[in-house]
Homo-oligomer: A and B are copies of this chain.
Amino acid sequence: MPRIIEDRNIPGKLGEAIGYALAGNGKRLRPFLFLQAFKMYSPEEEKVLPFACGIEAIHTYSLVHDDLPLMDNDDFRRGRLTTHRVYGEANALLVGDALLTLAFELMNSVGENFPPEKVQRAIKEVVKASGPEGMVGGQYLDLKGEGRKINLCELEKIHRKKTGALITASILSGGILGNAPEEDLEALEIYGQDLGLLFQITDDLLDVVGDPEKTGKEGQKDASLGKATYPGLLGLDGAKEKAEEKRQAANISAAKLGDKGKIFIELSDFVFSRDR
């Protein structure tokens, strides 16, 4: 049982279902990015762990809701059955709602350890990136685009919102809580936007050429849903070139952070070559 739901008065199997959704072999990319950005400026990592967990809870809620039959109808995620396949659709809906609410509670709880204006700003970035102007808006556009011909510009808009916004906000909020100077925050934000697109392009590529044993997802899912993808629009080689372009762009921003930004260069290189 993950610690964030331990010692809570959660009825029946709802706590177990929340734990199921949170567990599994996730990459934990967003809290990792948040913590890396924070640690560049502050050693007090343990004080922001609840915030990092809140970010992962937001990401996880979005997966649970997106996997529902009324949305993407996915049976597998992170190498296991999706939450609704184990606990039923109604409970999976509630698991997502619970995770999003817990996320707010977790982010709000770091308040006493940092200047209030920093906490408020960090929360604002994550929340805005998660809502209808960010992730939820991206999922809306993604659904709307299914089975319809969309161009590269529209595809990038979808992914900036659906995946990029929360990835960017994870990095940015880490910098904000760490009290990074404004020029570093700007570099972190632009880095995050390029990394987010790089992540999505490699995600699309893995859907086509990835090994389901490693990705933990069903392969060729995008094509079966009639979704536009980078390989679909640009071909495999074109998508790989696009990924390389984003990797380079991300690394230019990371380089602006000096020596302490090296971890972000390693990270975009890693995302570029990932196989899961």
A124 touches B97 (CB 8 A): no
A93 touches B71 (CB 8 A): yes
Residues in B neighbouring A97, C-beta threshold 8 A = 61-62, 65, 96, 100, 136
Closest CB-CB distance, A266 to chain B, in whole Å? 32
A127 within 8 A of B: yes
- Contact partner of A10 (CB less than 8 A), chosen from B8, B137, B139, is B137
CB within 8 Å of B: which A85-135 residues: 89-91, 93-94, 96-98, 100-102, 104-105, 108-109, 111-112, 116-117, 119-120, 123-124, 127-128, 130-133
Interface size class of chain A, counting residues whose CB lies under 8 Å from the partner chain: 35 or more
Given contacts A120-B108, A132-B15, A140-B14, contact A71 B90 (CB under 8 A): yes
Residues in B neighbouring A101, C-beta threshold 8 A = 100, 127, 130-132, 136
B10 touches A94 (CB 8 A): no
A68 within 8 A of B: yes
A153 within 8 A of B: no
- Contact partner of A140 (CB less than 8 A), chosen from B91, B96, B111, is B91
B132 touches A104 (CB 8 A): no
A94 touches B14 (CB 8 A): no
Residue in B closest to A109 when the chains form the complex, CB atoms: B124
Residues in B neighbouring A132, C-beta threshold 8 A = 5, 8, 10-11, 14-15, 18, 94, 98, 101-102
A137 touches B105 (CB 8 A): no
What are 24 contact pairs spanning A and B, CB under 8 A? A9-B133, A11-B137, A11-B141, A11-B161, A14-B140, A18-B132, A71-B90, A71-B93, A90-B143, A91-B140, A91-B143, A97-B100, A98-B132, A100-B100, A101-B127, A101-B136, A108-B123, A108-B124, A108-B127, A109-B124, A111-B120, A112-B117, A116-B116, A116-B120
Per the bound structure, the CA–CA distance linking A140 and B97 in Å amounts to 11
A12 within 8 A of B: yes
Residue in B closest to A5 when the chains form the complex, CB atoms: B132
Closest CB-CB distance, A158 to chain B, in whole Å? 9
What 11 additional pairs, Cβ within 8 angstroms, besides A91-B143, A105-B124? A5-B132, A10-B132, A65-B93, A94-B143, A96-B97, A100-B100, A101-B127, A101-B132, A102-B131, A102-B132, A111-B117
B111 touches A14 (CB 8 A): no
B11 touches A140 (CB 8 A): yes
